[in-house]
Amino acid sequence: MKSRRIFLQKAGLSALALNISTFNPISAMPNFLDAKKMDEKPLRVAIMGLGSYGTRVAEAIQETKRTKLVGVISGTPSKVEAWKTKYGIPAKNCYNYENFDAIKDNPDIDAVYVITPNGLHKDQVIRVAKAGKHAICEKPMAVNAADGQAMIDACKAAGVHLLIGYRMHFEANTLEVIKMRKAGEFGTPLFFQGLSGFIIGDPSQWRLQKSLSGGGAMMDIGIYSINGARYMLGEDPIWVTAQETKNNPEKFKEGIDETIQFQMGFPSGAVASCLSTYSMNNLDRFFLNGTKGWAEMQPSTGYGPIKGKTNQGPLDKPHTTHQAVQMDEMAAIIFDGKKPEVPVNGEEGVKDMKIIDAIFKAVKTGEKVTLKLA
Query: Do 24 and 93 belong to one domain?
Result: yes
CATH number, domain at 141? 3.40.50.720
Q: Are residues 239 and 285 in the same domain?
A: yes
Confidence of residue 13 (pLDDT cuts 50, 70, 90): very low
Strand order in the sheet with 239-245: 313-315, 308-310, 294-297, 283-290, 189-197, 271-277, 259-265, 239-245, 369-370
- Cα–Cα distances (Å) from 30 to 6, 27, 157, in that order, read 17, 7, 40
Mean pLDDT, the chain, integer: 92
pLDDT at 39: 54
Higher pLDDT, 370 or 33: 370
1-15, 88-102, 325-339: least confident range: 1-15
Band (pLDDT 50/70/90 cuts) for residue 9 is: very low
pLDDT in tens, 79-99: 999 999 999 999 999 999 999
**CA 368 distance to own-chain centroid:** 29
Last residue of a domain, one of 167, 193, 208: 167
Same domain, 241 and 317: yes
- Give the pLDDT mean for 233-261: 98
Is the pLDDT assigned to residue 100 strictly greater than 70? yes
Residues 149 and 190 in one domain: no
We report the CATH number of the domain holding residue 362 as 3.30.360.10
Contact 202, 140 (CB under 8 A): no
- Higher-confidence residue: 7 or 59? 59
Q: What is the pTM of this model?
A: 0.89
Say what the pLDDT of residue 1 is.
39
pLDDT tens across 288-322, in order?
999 999 999 999 999 999 999 999 999 999 999 99
- CA distances from residue 198 to 57, 166, 185, 195, 284 in whole angstroms, order as listed: 22, 19, 32, 10, 9
For the stretch 344-359, pLDDT in tens is 999 999 999 999 999 9
Same domain, 174 and 110: no
Question: In the predicted model, is pLDDT for residue 103 greater than 90?
Answer: yes
pLDDT in tens, 159-196: 999 999 999 999 999 999 999 999 999 999 999 999 99
Whole-number percent of the chain with pLDDT over 70: 90
- Does some domain include residue 335? no
The whole-number average pLDDT for the span 268-291 is 98
pLDDT the model gives residue 374 = 83
Q: Which domain holds residue 190?
A: 168-321+342-370
Whether 209 has a pLDDT exceeding 60, the answer reads yes
**Cα Rg for the chain, rounded, in angstroms?**
23
Q: What is the per-residue pLDDT across 210-224, written as a single tens digit (0 to 9) for each?
A: 999 999 999 999 999
Mean pLDDT of 18-37: 38
Beta carbons within 10 angstroms of residue 338's beta carbon:
11
pLDDT of residue 31: 41
- Identify the pLDDT of residue 29: 37
Would you say residue 104 has pLDDT above 60?
Answer: yes
Residues known to be catalytic: 139, 224
CA distance 149 to 315: 36
Pair 354, 140: CB distance under 8 Å: no
Residues 140, 239 within the same domain: no
Q: CA 238 to CA 352: how far, in whole Å?
A: 12
Q: Give the total number of structural domains in the chain.
A: 2
Rounded Cα gap, residues 171 and 65, in angstroms:
17
